[in-house]
């Protein structure tokens, strides 16, 4: 905490600007949203700086939208931000080296709080000089790390901040069942005690748009099971979080130990992939590496990995060529059958 404070103070001393900008990865999930809100509160209430949160990419997933709306979080979008007012930025739930994170050119990154494996096996992890870098691979949620700074400062958490942090820990650790450390456990219980219970439930059961059911129906039709792998490459989808949500959903099927779900998001000119493994199956990160086989960029921790492949073309044939490669790579992980062939068709789920 003293180190983080010193990093901000040093940057503030040499600047005419007075505010801190809090940033996260594109298409923020509940952990990113919770960590942003906790960090905004820490910077403003504890450290005494004006602080602003800016997010990049629209927030689509119903849970995440409800979280921002119901908690009335004051998040700007990146494009609205005037770089002039900030002496530095703080990154949460991501690292400057990740491809899915946009950094303003004129604002230095002063601090990083994250729990994802740094790109490049950690060797080039210190690529950008950052005064305060707190990356904890053993922690289930960045919201837990932010909670620890708030706890150590002794500040009382308002209901809204506690609710945001709780949702962050809750969804990134699946209610402490996934990648959860002692700190996650403490953060989960401490923030839940102060959270707005009605809002916690409302965020868990958000209203869903009609397109959700259309895409759900397609995902169920397209998904195939190959031994312990459920594979669903969905063609075009309306938003990237849908792939993550379907990955979680398919992983619940009995007999399924790992899941790969992908879809093309035309608006963002990207093909997104979500990979999940169950408790017994091992790490998601090296599996994603094999499924991508050099394409795009990816990140992950424990049983979760996500990837993005830029698309120069959003036409159907381009999308299917990506999906053909991904399917081939995923099936190659399963190995060849006795005839020396990769498993082919698979069978429909259910
Ligand atoms: Mn996270």
Span from the CA of 25 to the centroid of ligand 1 (angstroms) = 10
Residue 119's pLDDT is what? 77
Span from the CA of 343 to the centroid of ligand 1 (angstroms) = 34
160 & 257 share domain:
no
The arithmetic mean of pLDDT across residues 304-315, rounded, is: 95
More confidently predicted of 168 and 55: 168
185 & 216 share domain:
no
Span from the CA of 35 to the centroid of ligand 1 (angstroms) = 8
Span from the CA of 258 to the centroid of ligand 1 (angstroms) = 20
Span from the CA of 317 to the centroid of ligand 1 (angstroms) = 34
Span from the CA of 253 to the centroid of ligand 1 (angstroms) = 24
Q: Give the chain's domain count.
A: 2
125 & 235 share domain:
no
Span from the CA of 87 to the centroid of ligand 1 (angstroms) = 25
Q: Is the pLDDT of residue 114 over 90?
A: yes
232 & 178 share domain:
no
128 & 230 share domain:
no
Span from the CA of 271 to the centroid of ligand 1 (angstroms) = 21
**Domain boundary at 204, 237, 258, which?**
204
CB atoms within 10 A of CB 221: 11
| Adjacent-strand bridge partners of 200 | none
Residue 83's pLDDT is what? 74
At 168-214, the pLDDT tens digits run: 999 999 999 988 999 999 999 999 999 999 999 999 998 888 999 99
177 & 123 share domain:
yes
Q: Is the pLDDT of residue 103 over 90?
A: no
Span from the CA of 245 to the centroid of ligand 1 (angstroms) = 15
Residue 50's pLDDT is what? 94
Span from the CA of 209 to the centroid of ligand 1 (angstroms) = 25
Q: Is the pLDDT of residue 337 over 80?
A: no
Span from the CA of 88 to the centroid of ligand 1 (angstroms) = 22
Residue 121's pLDDT is what? 56
Residue with tokens 């002039």: 84
Cα distances from 138 to residues 39, 78, 142, 147, 297, in angstroms, run: 20, 30, 11, 15, 22
Q: Give the β-pairing of 19-23 and 86-92.
A: parallel
122 & 263 share domain:
no
Span from the CA of 142 to the centroid of ligand 1 (angstroms) = 5
Q: Cβ distance 303 to 284 under 8 Å? A: yes
Residue 214's pLDDT is what? 96
**Domain boundary at 184, 204, 224, which?**
204
Q: What is the pTM of this model?
A: 0.79
Residue 345's pLDDT is what? 80
The conformation of residue 218, written as its DSSP 8-state character, comes to H
Share of the chain above pLDDT 90, in %: 72
Span from the CA of 107 to the centroid of ligand 1 (angstroms) = 23
**Domain boundary at 159, 189, 204, which?**
204
CB-hemisphere CA count at 13 Å for 286?
A: 4
Q: Is the pLDDT of residue 125 over 60?
A: no
Q: Cβ distance 123 to 156 under 8 Å? A: no
- pLDDT tier for residue 126 given thresholds of 50, 70 and 90: low
Share of the chain above pLDDT 70, in %: 98
Span from the CA of 149 to the centroid of ligand 1 (angstroms) = 16
Residue 127's pLDDT is what? 64
Span from the CA of 201 to the centroid of ligand 1 (angstroms) = 20
* Helices (runs of H) and strands (runs of E) counted in the chain: 11, 13
Tell me what the pLDDT averaged over the chain comes to. 92
Span from the CA of 23 to the centroid of ligand 1 (angstroms) = 13
Residue 336's pLDDT is what? 75
Range from 56-60, 174-178, 244-248, 301-305 carrying the lowest mean pLDDT: 56-60
Q: Is the pLDDT of residue 341 over 90?
A: no
CB atoms within 10 A of CB 344: 10
98 & 145 share domain:
yes
Range from 35-39, 79-83, 112-116, 161-165 carrying the lowest mean pLDDT: 79-83
At 253-287, the pLDDT tens digits run: 999 999 999 999 999 899 999 999 998 888 999 99
Span from the CA of 126 to the centroid of ligand 1 (angstroms) = 20
Q: Is the pLDDT of residue 2 over 90?
A: yes
Span from the CA of 14 to the centroid of ligand 1 (angstroms) = 32
163 & 248 share domain:
no
Segments forming the whole domain that contains residue 254: 211-348
At 14-44, the pLDDT tens digits run: 888 999 999 999 889 999 999 999 999 999 9
Span from the CA of 93 to the centroid of ligand 1 (angstroms) = 5
Span from the CA of 338 to the centroid of ligand 1 (angstroms) = 41
Residues in Cβ contact with 37 at an 8 Å cutoff, skipping those fewer than 6 apart:
53, 71, 73, 160, 161, 164, 165
Residue with tokens 């505010």: 19
Q: Is the pLDDT of residue 122 over 80?
A: no
Residue 77's pLDDT is what? 84
Range from 48-57, 157-166, 311-320 carrying the lowest mean pLDDT: 48-57
CATH code of the domain containing 311: 3.10.310.40
The arithmetic mean of pLDDT across residues 57-72, rounded, is: 86
CATH code of the domain containing 76: 3.90.1640.10
């Amino acid at each position: 905490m003293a180190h983080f404070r010193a990093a901000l103070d040093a940057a503030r001393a040499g600047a005419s600007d007075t505010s801190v900008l809090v940033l996260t990865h594109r298409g923020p999930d509940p952990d990113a949203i919770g960590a942003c809100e906790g960090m905004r509160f820490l910077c403003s209430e504890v450290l005494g700086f004006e602080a602003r949160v800016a997010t990049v990419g629209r927030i689509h997933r119903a849970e995440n939208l409800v979280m921002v709306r119901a908690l009335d979080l004051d998040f700007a979008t990146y494009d609205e931000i005037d770089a002039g007012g900030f002496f530095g930025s703080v990154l949460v739930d991501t690292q400057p080296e990740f491809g899915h994170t946009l950094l303003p050119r004129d604002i230095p990154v002063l601090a990083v709080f994250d729990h994802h494996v740094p790109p490049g096996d950690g060797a080039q992890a210190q690529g950008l000089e950052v005064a305060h870098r707190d990356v904890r691979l053993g922690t289930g949620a960045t919201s837990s790390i932010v909670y620890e700074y708030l706890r150590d400062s002794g500040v009382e958490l308002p209901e809204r901040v506690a609710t945001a942090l709780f949702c962050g820990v809750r969804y990134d650790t699946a209610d402490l069942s996934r990648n959860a450390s002692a700190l996650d456990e403490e953060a989960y219980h401490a923030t839940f005690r102060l959270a707005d219970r009605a809002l916690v439930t409302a965020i868990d059961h958000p209203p869903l748009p009609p397109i959700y059911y259309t895409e759900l129906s397609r995902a169920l039709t397209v998904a195939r099971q190959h031994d312990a792998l459920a594979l669903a490459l969905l063609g075009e989808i309306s938003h990237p979080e849908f792939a993550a949500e379907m990955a979680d959903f398919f992983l619940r099927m009995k007999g399924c130990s790992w899941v790969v779900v992908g879809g093309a998001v035309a608006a963002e000119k990207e093909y997104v992939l979500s990979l999940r493994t169950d408790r017994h199956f091992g790490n998601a990160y090296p599996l994603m590496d094999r499924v991508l086989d050099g394409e795009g960029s990816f990140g992950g921790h424990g049983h979760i990995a996500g990837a993005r492949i830029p698309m120069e073309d959003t036409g159907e044939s381009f999308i299917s060529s990506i999906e053909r490669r991904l399917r081939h790579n995923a099936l190659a992980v399963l190995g060849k059958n006795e005839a020396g062939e990769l498993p082919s068709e698979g069978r429909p789920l259910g």
